[in-house]
Amino acid sequence: MRARLIIPALKRQPLLSRDRKGVVLFADSAEFCKYLYSVPYSQKNVHHGDTETPRKTKSKARPELTEMAEDTEGLSPRALASSSLPGDSDRVLRMGKILLLVLLPGLGLWAADEMTVYDLLAPGTHSFDIVYDVSASRAGAAYFFNPIRAGSTASKERVVDRASGKPLTFTIVDGKTAKASGGVDAGTPDDAQFLRVALARPVPKGAETRIRIYKTYTDSASYNATAAGLVFERPLGIKRNVVILPKGYELTGSASPAIVSTDPDGRVRLSFVNDRDDQLPVRITARRLP
């Protein structure tokens, strides 16, 4: 957040989510580089409490970096990545390194692999299809354990390896069996239910295995028809979640912030980013279109 207050180029940029961590992912790279490298550091204000004090230093501007920033002004991200950038190849390489350093703090968000899509079926069925993308990262693990939420009945399960697209075998096991393999927390109840997926090969050290789980949940406590339409209420623990309304329904309310869009078939899509340390309380209401 402090960077947005100090750097003029960032003041005009929108924040992601609720600015809890001051993440700025939409700053114009050319303006940011100009600020960093075209203004002598002695002119940059440093905050001390509620006041601004110029830092006294002998550091000088670096003209070659200023020139590189000017070369990129107005270029799209695709143009920045292309070989058609102005200047020689050394300049392009140096500019790429600078942009990497600028964007590095935000890479973690976009690199996060875990994501769930909830595709709501007709409200009267209390059912929704789930597509869950996740990575197994425990070195040497031969299995991945996906918990089946208490109160939900799972059906139509299938799992694929995202690297090869090939199906993976799986079975339903209880918490006691899952704990014996070391794949879940020792405090897991013995009667908990898990989808145990056999990975294509044990997870290599320092690597990960990406899988996609398909299943249908029936859960009357989470998803119901109402007199006006429907209500979907479910706490979501992972970082990225998408809920797609049934066709013929329009959104009337969401308890948590969401990006709302419309799919090509007319269905309403809500995208959530969980920036909390606990579960995101999702409650969606919708009504049937006339």
Would you say residue 198 has pLDDT above 70?
A: yes
Beta bridge partners of 281: 235
pLDDT of residue 242: 98
Does 68 share its domain with 152? Answer: no
What is d(CA 228, CA 207) in angstroms, rounded to the nearest whole number? 49
Q: Does pTM top 0.85 for this prediction?
A: no
Does 81 share its domain with 122? Answer: no
Does 215 share its domain with 95? Answer: no
Backbone angles phi, psi at 201, to 5 degrees: -160, 155
Does 22 share its domain with 126? Answer: no
pLDDT of residue 235: 95
pLDDT of residue 101: 53
pLDDT of residue 96: 61
Does 97 share its domain with 134? Answer: no
| Percentage of the residues of the chain whose pLDDT score is greater than 90 | 55
User: Is pLDDT larger for residue 179 or for residue 181?
Assistant: 179
Would you say residue 221 has pLDDT above 50?
A: yes
Does 122 share its domain with 241? Answer: yes
CATH at 177: 2.60.40.1730
| Percentage of the residues of the chain whose pLDDT score is greater than 70 | 61
- Mean pLDDT (whole number) for 72-97: 54
Does 126 share its domain with 89? Answer: no
- Mean pLDDT (whole number) for 102-109: 44
Would you say residue 12 has pLDDT above 60?
A: no
Does 105 share its domain with 216? Answer: no
Would you say residue 236 has pLDDT above 60?
A: yes
User: Is pLDDT larger for residue 130 or for residue 19?
Assistant: 130
Q: Which two tokens stand for residue 254?
A: 């969401």
pLDDT of residue 71: 52
pLDDT of residue 151: 86
Q: Predicted confidence band at 93 (pLDDT cuts at 50, 70, 90)?
A: low
Domain end (from 75, 110, 145) = 110
pLDDT of residue 107: 40
Does 246 share its domain with 147? Answer: yes
Domain that holds residue 97: 2-110
- Mean pLDDT (whole number) for 49-63: 47
Lowest mean pLDDT among 22-26, 81-85, 136-140, 220-224: 22-26
Would you say residue 63 has pLDDT above 50?
A: yes
Would you say residue 129 has pLDDT above 60?
A: yes
Does 131 share its domain with 258? Answer: yes
**Of 122, 104, 114, nearest in space to 144 by CA:** 114
Domain end (from 110, 133, 161) = 110
Does 159 share its domain with 238? Answer: yes
Domain end (from 42, 76, 110) = 110
Q: Which two tokens stand for residue 28?
A: 């114009």
What is d(CA 99, CA 102) in angstroms, rounded to the nearest whole number? 5
Does 88 share its domain with 201? Answer: no
The count of domains in the chain is: 2
State the CB neighbour count (10 A cutoff) for residue 252: 13
Would you say residue 56 has pLDDT above 70?
A: no
Would you say residue 83 has pLDDT above 70?
A: no
- Mean pLDDT (whole number) for 163-188: 92
The secondary structure of the chain, three-state, reads CHHHHHCHHHHCCCCCCCCCCCCCCCCCHHHHHHHHHHCCHHHCEEEECCEEEECCCCCCCCHHHHHHHHHHCCCCHHHHHCCCCCCCHHHHHHHHHHHHHHHHHHHHHHHCCCEEEEEECCHHHCEEEEEEEEEECCCCCCEEEEEECCCCEEEEEEEEECCCCCEECEEEEEHHHHHHCCCCCCCCCCCCEEEEEECCCCCCCCCCEEEEEEEEEECCCCEEECCCEEEEEEEECCCEEEEECCCCEEEEEECCCCEEEECCCCCEEEEEECCCCCCEEEEEEEEECC
The gap from C-alpha 223 to its chain's centroid, in whole angstroms, comes to 24
What is d(CA 249, CA 267) in angstroms, rounded to the nearest whole number? 7
